[in-house]
Amino acid sequence: MDIALLGGTGDIGEGLALRWAHDTDHGVVVGSRDAERARAAADEYEKRLADHGVTAAVDSGANPDAAARADLVVCAVPAYHLTDTIESVADGLDEGDVLVSPAVGMKGDEDGLHYNRPSAGSVLALAAGAAPDRVSVVGAFHNLAAGRLADLDVDLGVDTPVVGDDEAAVETVVGVAEDIGGLRALPAGPAANAPEVESLTPLLINLARYNDDMHDVGIRFE
């Protein structure tokens, strides 16, 4: 499967690109609003993979080009860029493609970060509203700590809930996620459950802030 990471130069995009290129045979395409920035990031990822004994080609391109070349598109951008990014690549998305959103709306104050639920009900709902009807939209990877994800010397040992209304698309995302070593993907119901999943992220960040031994904290459901 070919996987595009829109915003693949950012923290979550970096970690997912490295893990899929390191652990799987999936094709990985790093996308960015700036094609040169995407290429520079892809070159850096290839070097880091080589340092870990893996020879893998990481492709790159501007976001529309990256999305058009993939079967699964992860929109790894902040929530405030999500709809614009999806709209910019919509013409290149084919019927049967799966669009994944790990974005979370958050706001901060002196106490920490708090879930900022949009008027649409969830960030996933915003993504679904911006995506073409021919594309299935799934929420996943919200709760993954970027530093832990990008450190190929660390066993992940964490879970990620997956939500969406298209059961086949959810199954696809679960399978691709679990191709990453140490990551377990758990179906968490339809898209209506996205707010509960998205709200885990500020909780985990606050735990990391207030507990010195919980940097890059993750969750495991037992």
Q: What is the pLDDT of residues 111-123, one digit of tens each?
A: 999 999 999 999 9
Which residues, listed in sequence order, are joined to residue 164 by a DSSP beta bridge? 138
Provide the percentage of residues in the chain whose pLDDT is more than 90.
Answer: 98
What CATH number does residue 20 fall under? 3.40.50.720
Is 222 contained in some domain? Answer: no
Is 122 contained in some domain? Answer: yes
Q: What pLDDT is stored for residue 112 in this prediction?
A: 97
Rg of the Cα atoms in the chain? 16
Q: What is the pLDDT of residues 47-95, one digit of tens each?
A: 999 999 999 999 999 999 999 999 999 999 999 999 999 999 999 999 9
pLDDT > 90? residue 103: yes
Higher pLDDT pick, 214 / 88 = 88
- pLDDT (mean) for 128-134: 96
Tokens, residue 37? 């920035």
Total domains present in the chain: 1
Q: How far is CA 23 from CA 30, 157, 161, 221, in A?
A: 16, 14, 20, 23
Is 219 contained in some domain? Answer: no
Check: CB of residue 107 under 8 Å from CB of residue 113.
yes
Tokens, residue 121? 């009900």
Range of the domain at 209: 2-214
Q: What pLDDT is stored for residue 193 in this prediction?
A: 98
- CA–CA distance, 81 with 189 (Å, rounded to integer): 26
- pLDDT (mean) for 10-33: 97
pTM (predicted TM-score): 0.95
Is 167 contained in some domain? Answer: yes
pLDDT > 90? residue 215: no
Is 177 contained in some domain? Answer: yes
